[in-house]
Every structure is written in structure tokens, then in C-alpha cells.
């Protein structure tokens, strides 16, 4: 008979303390598998840190990949209504009659066990494993388990785990202290990532995911709340500046960026703003762009000197900041690099770069159908395809090629080749 340990929790985010519980039960009780069971969010619980199911699952995946006996169980988060533990455990018991189920809980939960929904049903369907911390009095936990076993005529097993001095709340609080700029910097420095992941008791890959997908950010520190100008305000303004064709294109990029954000679990509103503003300087002529850049201390590369229309990206970022009150540096950077791309683009940089190329109004580029479909499968490979075709087009029309476009292509070509 297979012995399965089940560890439920909200896992916002999952950390080594959770894994320590699971591992203690696994080793002490000779279990065959551990199922990590993220909970749906109960209706009465207000969650301030919004984190999607997709992100929670991805974080768990990053955490458990070095433990082959651990699996994610998405049963509760797939349900449209909130599931209580007694419902889930009854379901598992019925579905897997040959498995012996061990429900793993922390020492702090056992004191409230009587108040759980239908505890008598829970204990009919599984054994309860209670993880005590080394620092606590193990004898009293043992006794507690004995008295619960008597009371419910069921099996409560005490196990002893090493203390991991962290909680998900601690992790969220610590993450709140890092600004967007700091996070961006950390992503570029392996040693910093290692230091922080150690401090937070989570693996490096999990931390990278958190930073890339902008999870647990403090919106006040980062100025993400932009109450001044709504999407509608900006749309109204752009309509008077851009020609109808460019305005339509802008709408297309905005919604395509949001669709890609849905697919890759990036904050959708941020993607909408980036798409909406990416070409906001496009109504200016080449010489106007050059003059503006010179007067506003915007650096001008050789390629931009020769093909000034490229500057609409940098000038656009400037306007987004000064005219449209965007404070979110990720949006500004995505606009800044949307024409040439750059090596190691952020998730939003890639979303915008691709949305600009594939939005529904585009009809000139070769293999658009293929690239559109691929955009929803793999971002790096899609960037490689777009840059490949753009360079071919520029060479064909004998236009000056920006060094950054070339570097970006080589970067994405290398990393996608490595993967094959």
C-alpha cells in the first residue's frame, strides 16, 4: 500500500520551513510520496498581496524540483468554489482507496483542530501527522497527540522537525523592502540572489521567479498606483496626437500586450500601460526627435543619428514619464527598448517587443501566423524569430542597423540554441 503525505497551505510563498515539515514526515514515517496541496483562498479571507494561482504553482514547482518524491496537487486551486480539508480528503480517500493518506499539519494547528470544519470526517479519511519544532517540549506534543487519538478514535502521530526560522509573512515583509530598481539589479547579480535566497529560505530559482514576475512588490514604494492618469485619460490624449492608423496600432499593441501578460502571468495593467504608451512619440518627425533628444539630455547613438525615427522609443519613454506621469521604471524601460530590443530583456520588455510585432493590425511581416502562435509558447524563441526577420528586412532595404538590434539577435540566438 502506498503511503502518501499531504501538505496543505496557502504557500504565499512556499519556503524551506514547509519543505522541512514534508521531509520530516517523509523520513520518519517512510512515506512514498509527498503531495503539496495549495489551498484555494477562503471567501472570508482578504488577501492584500495578490498572487495568482499560476504563480503559486510555479513557485512550488521551482521549490520541489530537487525532491523527486514531491508532487504538486492542484485539486483545490482548480475548483471554482473553496474546498475545506474534509471535502478534499474525503475525495482523495474515495479516489485512491489503495493509498494510506497522512495529512501533515504544524503544531500550532493542532490546538484548533476541534474548530476545523468537520474534524470527525477528516480523521476518517486519513491519519494526522503533527510536526513539532525542536525547540518546543516534545513530550507535551506527544501527549496532545495521544489525547486527540483517544478523543477521535483516530491516528494522530507526533514527529519532530528542525526549526526553520521563517514564515511566509516574514518573507513577504522582507520582499516589500526591495524597490523595483533594486530587484532589477539583483536579477543581474548572482551573488546578490544567492544572499537573498539564503536569507529568505527559498531556492534561487524561486527568488528569480518572484523578481521577474513582480510578485510581492510594495506598490507604494514603487509608485505603481497611478491615480492621476487613467488608461482612458491617456487614450483621449493620444487620439489627438497620433494619426488614426497609429492610434489603431496602439490599441492593438495594448490589448496584445495584455493577452501575453495573461499567458505569462505578468501584471496585466502594467502591460496595458506599456502597450498604450509605447509609440506616444511617433507623431514627431526625425528632425523633431533629434532636436528633442539633444535638448533633453537623451543620449543619441550613431544609428539614431543616421535613422532618427529610432529615437521615438527613448523620447516615448521620456514623455511617458513626464507627460503621462508613469513612475514605473519597468514600463519606461520597456518603451525605451521596444524598437531594437536588448540582451536579457525583462518579461515586460519581451511582452511589449513581441506585441508590437504581432498585434492584429500588422499584415506586412513574413511568417506572421507562425510568430503569432509561437508568442504564446516561448518568449525567447519568439524574440529570436522577430529579430531574425527584422535584420533580414533591414539588410534587404540597405538600412543602417543599430548595434543593439544585432546584439539582441545574437543574444537570443545563443540562448535558444543552447536549449535545443
Would you tell me which residues interact with ligand DGI (CB under 6 A)?
Answer: 249, 279, 282, 303, 307, 310, 338-340, 356, 390, 394, 399-402, 405
Query: Can residue 279 be called a binding residue for Fe ion (CB under 5 A)?
Result: yes
For residue 366, give the C-alpha cell: 513574413
Three-class secondary structure of residue 36 per DSSP: strand
Binding segment for Fe ion (CB under 5 A), chosen from 28-36, 221-229, 272-280, 380-388, is 272-280
Binding segment for Fe ion (CB under 5 A), chosen from 192-200, 264-272, 352-360, 370-378, is 352-360
Neighbours of 45 (CB within 10 A): 9
Q: Which residues pair with 160 in a beta bridge?
A: 132
For residue 184, give the C-alpha cell: 532589477
Three-class secondary structure of residue 105 per DSSP: strand
Query: Can residue 356 be called a binding residue for Fe ion (CB under 5 A)?
Result: yes
Cβ within 8 Å of residue 217, ≥6 positions away? 175, 176, 180, 183, 224
Neighbours of 123 (CB within 10 A): 22
* Comparison of 126 and 387: residue with beta carbon closer to ligand DGI: 387
* Comparison of 279 and 402: residue with beta carbon closer to Fe ion: 279
How many Å apart are CA 100 and CA 148, to the nearest integer?
Answer: 20
Nearest distance from C-beta of residue 395 to Fe ion, angstroms = 20
Nearest distance from C-beta of residue 233 to Fe ion, angstroms = 20
How many Å apart are CA 362 and CA 94, to the nearest integer?
Answer: 53
* Comparison of 217 and 402: residue with beta carbon closer to ligand DGI: 402
* Comparison of 302 and 370: residue with beta carbon closer to ligand DGI: 302
Nearest distance from C-beta of residue 347 to ligand DGI, angstroms = 18
* Comparison of 349 and 356: residue with beta carbon closer to Fe ion: 356
For residue 161, give the C-alpha cell: 522537525
Nearest distance from C-beta of residue 404 to ligand DGI, angstroms = 7
**Which partner from the list Fe ion, ligand DGI, none does 400 bind, CB cut-off 5 to 8 Å by kind?**
ligand DGI
Nearest distance from C-beta of residue 382 to ligand DGI, angstroms = 14
**Which partner from the list ligand DGI, Fe ion, none does 24 bind, CB cut-off 5 to 8 Å by kind?**
none
Cβ within 8 Å of residue 173, ≥6 positions away? none
How many Å apart are CA 410 and CA 407, to the nearest integer?
Answer: 5
Nearest distance from C-beta of residue 385 to ligand DGI, angstroms = 14
- How many CA atoms lie within 13 Å of 331's alpha carbon, on the beta-carbon side? 31
* Comparison of 39 and 339: residue with beta carbon closer to ligand DGI: 339
Binding segment for Fe ion (CB under 5 A), chosen from 66-74, 278-286, 345-353, 388-396, is 278-286
Q: Could you report how far apart the first and last alpha carbons of the chain are, in Å?
A: 40
**Quick one: which of 48, 57, 54 has its CA closest to 9?**
57
The residue ranges that bind Fe ion (CB under 5 A) are 279, 356
Amino acid at each position: 500500500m502506498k503511503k502518501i503525505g499531504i501538505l496543505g497551505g496557502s504557500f504565499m510563498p512556499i519556503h524551506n520551513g514547509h519543505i522541512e515539515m514534508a521531509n520530516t514526515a517523509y523520513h520518519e514515517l517512510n512515506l512514498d510520496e509527498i503531495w503539496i496541496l495549495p489551498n484555494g483562498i477562503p471567501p472570508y479571507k482578504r488577501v492584500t498581496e495578490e498572487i495568482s494561482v499560476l504563480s503559486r504553482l510555479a513557485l512550488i514547482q521551482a521549490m520541489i524540483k530537487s525532491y523527486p518524491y514531491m508532487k504538486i496537487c492542484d485539486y483545490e486551486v482548480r475548483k471554482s468554489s473553496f474546498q475545506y480539508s474534509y471535502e478534499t480528503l474525503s475525495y482523495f480517500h474515495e479516489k485512491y482507496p489503495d493509498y494510506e493518506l497522512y495529512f501533515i499539519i504544524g503544531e500550532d494547528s493542532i490546538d484548533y483542530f476541534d474548530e476545523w470544519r468537520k474534524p470527525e470526517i477528516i480523521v476518517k479519511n486519513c491519519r494526522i501527522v503533527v510536526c513539532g519544532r525542536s525547540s518546543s517540549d516534545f513530550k507535551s506534543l506527544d501527549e496532545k497527540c495521544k489525547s486527540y487519538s483517544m478523543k477521535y478514535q483516530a491516528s494522530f502521530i507526533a514527529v519532530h522537525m528542525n526549526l526553520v526560522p521563517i514564515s511566509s509573512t516574514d518573507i513577504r515583509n522582507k520582499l516589500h523592502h526591495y524597490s523595483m530598481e533594486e530587484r532589477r539589479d539583483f536579477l543581474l547579480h548572482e551573488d546578490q540572489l544567492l544572499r537573498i535566497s539564503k536569507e529568505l529560505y527559498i531556492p534561487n530559482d524561486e527568488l528569480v521567479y518572484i523578481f521577474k514576475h513582480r510578485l510581492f512588490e510594495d506598490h507604494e514604494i514603487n509608485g505603481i498606483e497611478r491615480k492621476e492618469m487613467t488608461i482612458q485619460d491617456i487614450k483621449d490624449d493620444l487620439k489627438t496626437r497620433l494619426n488614426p492608423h497609429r492610434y489603431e496600432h496602439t490599441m492593438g499593441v495594448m490589448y496584445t500586450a495584455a493577452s501575453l501578460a495573461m499567458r505569462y502571468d505578468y501584471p496585466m495593467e502594467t502591460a496595458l500601460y506599456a502597450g498604450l504608451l509605447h509609440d506616444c512619440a511617433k507623431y514627431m518627425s526625425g528632425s523633431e526627435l533629434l532636436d528633442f533628444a539633444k535638448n533633453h539630455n537623451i543620449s543619441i547613438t550613431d544609428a539614431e543619428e543616421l535613422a532618427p525615427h529610432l529615437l521615438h522609443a527613448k523620447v516615448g519613454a521620456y514623455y511617458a514619464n513626464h507627460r503621462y506621469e508613469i513612475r514605473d521604471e519597468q514600463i519606461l524601460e520597456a518603451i525605451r527598448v521596444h524598437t531594437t530590443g536588448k540582451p536579457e530583456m525583462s518579461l515586460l520588455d519581451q511582452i511589449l517587443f513581441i506585441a508590437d510585432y504581432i498585434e492584429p493590425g500588422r499584415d506586412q511581416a513574413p511568417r506572421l501566423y507562425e510568430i503569432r502562435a509561437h508568442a504564446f509558447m516561448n518568449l525567447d524563441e519568439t524574440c529570436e524569430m522577430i529579430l531574425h526577420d527584422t535584420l533580414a528586412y533591414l539588410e534587404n532595404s540597405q538600412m543602417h542597423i543599430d548595434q543593439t538590434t544585432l546584439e539582441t539577435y545574437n543574444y537570443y540566438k545563443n540562448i535558444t540554441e543552447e536549449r535545443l
